[in-house]
Amino acid sequence: MSSGTGPSSSATSSRKVRLATVWLAGCSGCHMSFLDLDEWLLELAELAEIVYSPVGSDVKTYPEGVDVCLVEGGVANADNLELLHQVRTRTRVLISFGDCAITANIPGMRNMLHGADPVLRKAYLELADGSGQLPHAPGIVPELLERVLPVHELVPVELYLPGCPPSAARIRAALEPLLQGGWPELSGADLIRFG
């Protein structure tokens, strides 16, 4: 980042912004919208280094020293939770990316059944075709949390980017100032509408 006005005091002007995107419990629609940035992605690549992303990197471990991370999805299982805590400790600007991250949205609808066990029973036994069984594979299938939670109910969040998904223009409106060392002011229906 080039200036000290944003949360970038330690970043030097010579270094590219270390950008990550993370996909928790969501449909990946936010990431698809990110890809809809089309040619601006080329500009982005000039300003930022994609250090971790399901759509832009093969790195399997969330790295240290990330400047900005877009977190898509609610927090639904033990893996989500572990990754989120990693993201939080290794990232300066955490952006809650899309309605699932901000409200739990569609994944959160299982919360109305009040608990992981009723959800699993409903999905794998009650609605099964006769030979249903509860999935159980410790270490392979991550345990469901009792409730799907929005990101900010678990860790501090610096910026919220609502939308299902947030449009490419909205994503750019959030990222561009950050990449230039500023801070985005998001308001109005074009930038913060749910849905």
Partner 1 sequence: MSGILRVCTAAGCAGCGGSALREQLGAVIAAATTGDPASGLALKGVGCLGPCGEGALLELESASGRRLFGGITPEGVAAVAASLANLSPGTDLGTWAPPAARPIDLEQPFFRLQKRLVLEHCGRIDPESLAEALAAGSYGQLRRVLQENRPEAVIEQVRRSGLRGRGGGGYPTGLKWATVARMPGPEKVVVCNADEGDPGAFMDRSVLEGDPHRLLEGMAIAAWAVGASRGFIYVRAEYPMAIAHLRTAIAQAEDQGLLGAAIAGSAFGFQLELRVGAGAFVCGEETALIHSIEGQRGVPRPRPPYPAEVGVFGLPTLINNVETFASVPPLLAIGAEAYAAIGTTNSGGTKVFSLTGDVRLAGVLEVPMGTPIATIVETMGGGAPDGHAIKAVQTGGPSGGCVPANRLDTPVDYESLQELGSIMGSGGMVVMDDSTSMVDVACFFMAFCREESCGKCIPCRSGTVQLHLLLQKHLAGEADAADLAQLESLCHMVKDTSLCGLGQSAPKPVLSTLRHFRGDYLALLRPEPEATPEPVP
Partner 2 sequence: MSVRTLRIDGRDLAVPEGTTLLQAAREAGIAIPTLCHLEGLSPVAACRLCLVEIEGTDKLLPACITPASEGMVVQTATPRLQDIRRTVVELLFTEGNHVCAICVANGHCELQDLAVTTGMDHSRLPYRFPARRVDLSHPFFGLDHNRCILCTRCVRVCDEVEGAHVWDVGWRGEHCRIIAGLDEPWGAVDACTNCGKCVQVCPTGALFHKGDTTAEKHDEPAQLQALVHARHHQQWNP
> Does position 26 bind partner 2 by CB under 8 A?
no
CB under 8 A: which stretch of 3-11, 121-129, 169-177, 185-193 binds partner 1? 3-11
Touching partner 1, residues 78-107 (CB under 8 A) = 88-93
Question: How many CB atoms within 10 Å of residue 44?
Answer: 20
> Does position 130 bind partner 2 by CB under 8 A?
no
Question: How many CB atoms within 10 Å of residue 42?
Answer: 9
Which residue lies nearer to partner 2 by CB, 120 or 154? Answer: 154
CB under 8 A: which stretch of 14-22, 82-90, 95-103, 122-130 binds partner 2? 95-103
Interacting partner of 9 out of partner 1, partner 2, none (Cβ under 5 to 8 A depending on kind):
partner 1
Between CA 55 and CA 34 the distance in angstroms is 9
Question: How many CB atoms within 10 Å of residue 135?
Answer: 10
Between CA 14 and CA 108 the distance in angstroms is 42
Residues whose CB is less than 8 angstroms from the CB of residue 146 and which lie 6 or more positions away in sequence, other chains included: 115, 116
Q: Hey, is 190 helix, strand or coil?
A: helix
> Does position 7 bind partner 1 by CB under 8 A?
yes
Q: Shortest Cβ distance from residue 177 to partner 2 (Å)?
A: 16
Which residue lies nearer to partner 1 by CB, 92 or 147? Answer: 92
Residue selected from 37, 106, 168, 173 as contacting partner 2 according to rule CB under 8 A: 106
Q: Which residues of 6-19 are buried (b: 16+ CB within 10 A; e: fewer)?
A: bbbeebeeeebbbb
Q: Shortest Cβ distance from residue 154 to partner 1 (Å)?
A: 11
The strand pairing partners of 116, in sequence order, are none
Residue selected from 108, 170, 171, 184 as contacting partner 2 according to rule CB under 8 A: 108
User: Token digits for 161?
Assistant: 């980017």
> Does position 63 bind partner 1 by CB under 8 A?
no
Residues whose CB is less than 8 angstroms from the CB of residue 126 and which lie 6 or more positions away in sequence, other chains included: 132
CB under 8 A: which stretch of 46-54, 79-87, 132-140, 152-160 binds partner 2? 152-160
Residues that bind partner 1 (CB under 8 A): 6-7, 9-10, 65, 88-93, 156, 158, 183
